[in-house]
Amino acid sequence: MTAQTDTPGSVTAVYKVTGMSCGHCEGSVSAELSGLPGVSSVQAVAASGEVTVVSAAPLDDEAVRAAVDEAGFELAGRA
């Protein structure tokens, strides 16, 4: 459950999200997470339930959970 640093000034974290089943689901989760401060990239994959988030600094897990909840899904934790 650790974040990776890809390039200086960016952190990549992979989360498990349950309930995503299609491209619309991926878009909803991506849109909510993209609204978090410092987020520069979000890639959601319904087939695996994984969401990869690149941000300027590590994200607060509760903020991520709230954004996923707002999209209508459940954060299962980090991948």
* 8-52 residue pLDDT tens: 679 999 999 999 999 999 999 999 999 999 999 999 999 999 999
Kindly report the pTM of this predicted structure: 0.88
* Residue 13 dihedral angles phi and psi, to the nearest 5°: -130, 140
> What domains does the chain contain, in order, with CATH numbers?
11-78 (3.30.70.100)
Residue found by looking up tokens 């990776």 in the block: 4
Mean pLDDT in residue range 46-68: 97
Q: Identify the band that residue 5 occupies on the pLDDT scale cut at 50, 70 and 90.
A: very low
Helix, strand or coil for residue 65?
helix
How confident is the model at residue 2, as a pLDDT?
A: 41
